[in-house]
Chain A
Amino acid sequence: MPLGLRELHKSKAMSMRYRLSPIALVVALVLASCAAPAVRPPNPPLETRAISLMVFGEPAEKAAYEELIAAFHTAHPDIRVELIHIPSQRDYQRRLSADFAAGTPADLVLINYRRYANFAARGVLHPIGDYIAANSDLSLNDFYQPALAPFYWNNELMCMPQNLSSLVVYYNKDLFDQAGLAYPTNDWTWDDFLRTAQALTRDLDGDGQTDQHGLGTDPSLFRVAPFIWQNNGDLVNNPSNPTRLSLDDPQSRAAVAWFVELQTVHGVVPDAVAEQAENSESRFLTGRLAMFLNSRRGVPTYRTITTFDWDVAPLPQNLRRAGILHSDAYCMTTATQDKDAAWQFIAYAVSEAGQSLVAKSGRIVPSRKAVAESPAFLDPQTKPANSRIFIEHIEDIRAVPVMSTWVDIEEIVGKEIERAFYGQASVDEAIRTAITNSQEYFELAVR
């Protein structure tokens, strides 16, 4: 087999990367002799320990991580942390896959709980249970259980969650005031939600085009999921060991249809054309969209809003309350050479000091209870004023199934939901195709 591909199995970490086969050596020499100068950056001095951390997020979020790293450098001058920042989650996922496949992942990676299982299943993440057991300062009891739970893979804790958010409604208070509407309450219902959105959807100049929309949301499985749960439905047949999508269950179907009709029937959400012209989040930022569904992630960006006042409200409820878990965790990769340094950073990042820093940026709902209850998160001087709802509703939070092919399933189903949402297919057709097309990935899932 060419290039000793069979040996690649042993190529974890450094062993193989530096043991080049003879052909490879010739290749490397030829290439190097051709273009070596000025290509490789100088190596860092040997006495400093260096680790790399890869994160995703908007520029405002990146700043928070830079601050965290700066504080860590002060506390641990011997360890340098290099930040690798990828703006979009989608590219981030690809980048992670490519890096792992190449055997060159960052030492620490921030991964969402929906996306880590594929890597855990392939053994490229290093469990952190032993480090936690050895670290007397850190007790898992100090963290919210719903954030920790999804990161157990085969009963081992793989990653350390930094945050747990639910889906919430960001709303433009000025637009509510102009329309003479009361702000959302903590127990508003689907009907209240729809009526409010309708009242806020307006054609301001009378040209027959909607200039201001009541609501904005991604048309994705992840956004529709909490509504399905609120309607006593579910995404999959058996959440602990799913083998099939269950969107065709009447309760689930009804919730999907309700969600889709927000756009197709009620027109309170921008249609496909309007969304392509300018996406909902941008419309919200420029004050032309009243309510936007997002997790805590949006806060650093929304804090840059100067033209209107805004706040957060919990999701409306239906047959029951339900939120959806958004949680990202620091994971150590198996390839990491200085695992101790990597752990030092994780421990710092989830410590009170570390979480307080990132919490102040607005980016996270801290996974550490003490920080979530502290002014670092709840400071009434910073927006959103109603931050408390993030922790008040933690008990309603549910998580999507943790499985190695969940990313693929979400993508496939998302395309169908999007199609229905923009009126290009009926809800039933979309659900039917979603079930058919996703079935393969239930079977491919590594447990």
Chain B
Amino acid sequence: MSRTRHRSPTDWGWQLVAGGLALLFGLPLYWLFTSSLRPAGSPPPRTVEWFPHAATLTNYQRIFALAPFGHYLLNSLIVASLAVPLTLLTASLAGFAMARAPVPIQRSLLLFSVTLLLIPTAALWLPRYILFARLGLLDTWLPLLAPTLMGSNALYVLLFYWSFRRISPELFDAARLEGSSTFGLWWRIGMPLVRPTSLVVLILSFLAYWNDFLTPFLYLKSESRYLLPVGISLLHQMDTTQFPLLLAGAVIMTLPALVLFWAVQHTFWYEGRFSELAHTDEV
């Protein structure tokens, strides 16, 4: 099927609508950046200001002086860089095992995973808190990292499962004949072939850990272990009106997520058809 590319009026109309929507969705971010450049403490604006008059980067310096912001940043990076590889490991292993399991087991694992998806884990913070408290694990990063054990989210496991299922079994059989172990199949045959899925899980899990407010907010007690979202929410309570300063903090927190997303966003727009890819042995 070929789509002709000619500049018709509807095409221009489409560009206009899509562009307008993109602008609308970009507007909060634009205001975030520009407002963070306003000198903190300067009188609040009274008229529309598309770019602050005396734009300055001093807020970005001051915020590091006001709070151990670098420390929070580092902690957040450490937690995310522990959580993401662990998530990739456990989720891909589980997904691989599911895809390679005998059909009846595969079915029950699928049901199990979907059930997990249907339990809103975010609503489980209360019993989880009591559980971790009784284990004496408050004020450590363990409660934050614990979900990596189960691949962080049943969805990631399912994504890997679907991807591994698309790989032709002959490939595995051939490798098996050459003496490869099951872990070898996963690592040498499976993982290289599901790289796009790994990338998607990587970005999704990074965002999940990097953005999470509630978990670190509940579990961390010592300032030395705070993560960025907690640090910023504390700053916010200290002073609700030094907004440019707070927004500078928000920019610092948002940038890594933005950069990572825009770097790999092309993997999100997979336009192929499952029917063309999915290999034929239906469950």
Q: Do chains A and B touch in the complex (CB under 8 A)?
A: yes
CB-CB nearest in chain B for A18: B136
Supposing A27-B135, A32-B142 touch, asked if A88 and B238 sit within 8 A by C-beta, the answer is yes
Q: Is the CB of A102 within 8 A of B133?
A: yes
Question: Smallest CB–CB gap between A270 and chain B, Å?
Answer: 12
Bound-state Cα–Cα, A11 to B130, Å = 13
Tell whether A34 pairs with B238 under 8 Å between CB atoms, given A3-B131, A8-B134. no
**Interface SS of chain B: helix, strand, loop or mixed?**
helix
Q: Tell me the bound Cα distance from A44 to B223 in angstroms.
A: 17
- Per-position 1/0 for B126-148, Cβ under 8 A of A: 00010101111111111001101
- B171 interface residue, CB < 8 Å from A? no
- Contact A87-B237, Cβ < 8 Å, known A32-B142, A101-B133, A104-B139: yes
- The answer to whether B240 touches A84, judged by C-beta atoms less than 8 angstroms apart, is no
Residues on A lying within 8 angstroms of B by beta carbon are 3, 5, 8, 11, 17-18, 20, 24, 27-28, 30-32, 34-36, 38-41, 58-59, 82, 84-88, 90-91, 95, 98-99, 101-104, 277-279, 282, 286
- What per-residue 1/0 map shows which CB atoms of B36-64 lie under 8 Å from chain A? 00000101100000000000000000000
With contacts A3-B134, A24-B134, A35-B148 taken as known, whether A84 is within 8 angstroms of B221 at the C-beta atoms is: yes
Residue of B nearest to A14 (CB): B136
From A32, A59, A104, give the contact of B138 (CB < 8 A): A104
Indicate if the CB atoms of B82 and A35 lie closer than 8 Å: yes
Q: Is the CB of A41 within 8 A of B136?
A: no
Tier of interface size on chain B: 35 or more
Q: Quick one: which of B232-280 are within 8 Å of A by CB?
A: 234-235, 237-241
- Chain B residues contacting A86 (CB-CB under 8 Å) are 234
Q: Which residues of A contact B108 (CB under 8 A)?
A: none
Q: Give every chain B residue within 8 A of A103 (Cβ-Cβ).
A: 133
Contacts of B135 in A (CB 8 A): 20, 24, 27-28
Contact B78 A38, beta carbon cutoff 8 Å: yes
Determine if A279 and B133 form an interchain contact, defined as CB atoms under 8 angstroms apart.
Answer: no
Interface string of B179-218 (1 = CB under 8 A from A): 0000000000000000000000000000000000000001
Chain B 76-108: CB-based contact to A (< 8 A → 1; otherwise 0): 001000100010000000000000000000000
Chain B nearest Cβ from A398, distance in angstroms: 29
CA distance A98 to B218 in the complex (A): 8
Whole-angstrom CA separation of A41 from B129 in the bound complex: 21
Residues 146-164 of chain B, each 1 if its beta carbon lies under 8 Å from chain A, else 0? 1011000000000000000
A35 touches B142 (CB 8 A): yes
| Cα–Cα, bound, A279→B240 (Å) | 8
Closest to A301 in B: B239
Give the docked Cα–Cα distance between A24 and B132 (Å): 10
Residues of B near A39 (CB, < 8 A) are 140-142, 145
Most buried by B among A27, A34, A82: A34
Distance, CA A27 to CA B78, complexed state (A): 23
How many angstroms between the C-alpha atoms of A82 and B223 in the bound complex?
11
Q: Contact: A31 with B149, CB < 8 Å?
A: yes
Shortest Cβ distance from residue A29 to the other chain B in the assembled complex, whole angstroms: 11
30 contacts between A and B (CB under 8 A): A3-B131, A20-B136, A24-B135, A27-B135, A28-B137, A31-B142, A34-B145, A34-B146, A34-B149, A35-B146, A35-B148, A36-B142, A38-B82, A39-B140, A39-B142, A87-B234, A88-B238, A90-B237, A91-B234, A91-B237, A95-B221, A98-B129, A103-B133, A104-B136, A104-B139, A278-B44, A279-B241, A282-B239, A282-B241, A286-B43
- Cα-based distance from A87 to B86 in the complex (angstroms): 34
Q: Are B234 and A34 in contact (CB under 8 A)?
A: no
Q: List residues of chain B with CB within 8 A of the CB of A35.
A: 82, 86, 141-142, 145-146, 148
The CA-CA distance from A383 to B250 in the complex, in Å, is 35
Q: A286 to chain B: which residues have CB within 8 Å?
A: 41, 43
Question: In the complex, A99 Cα to B136 Cα: how many Å?
Answer: 11
Q: Which residue of chain B has its CB nearest to the CB of A102?
A: B133
User: Which residues of chain A have C-beta atoms less than 8 A from B133's C-beta?
Assistant: 101-104
Q: Which 5 A-B pairs have the closest CB atoms?
A: A102-B133, A282-B241, A88-B237, A35-B145, A87-B238
Q: Is the CB of B66 within 8 A of A59?
A: yes
Q: Which of B41, B86, B137, B146 has its CB near the most chain A CB atoms (within 10 A)? A: B137
Cα distance, A58 to B241, chains bound together (Å): 14
B115 within 8 A of A: no
- Kindly state the separation between the CA atoms of A102 and B141 in the bound complex, as whole angstroms: 16
Q: A161 to B77: give the CA distance in the assembly, Å.
A: 41
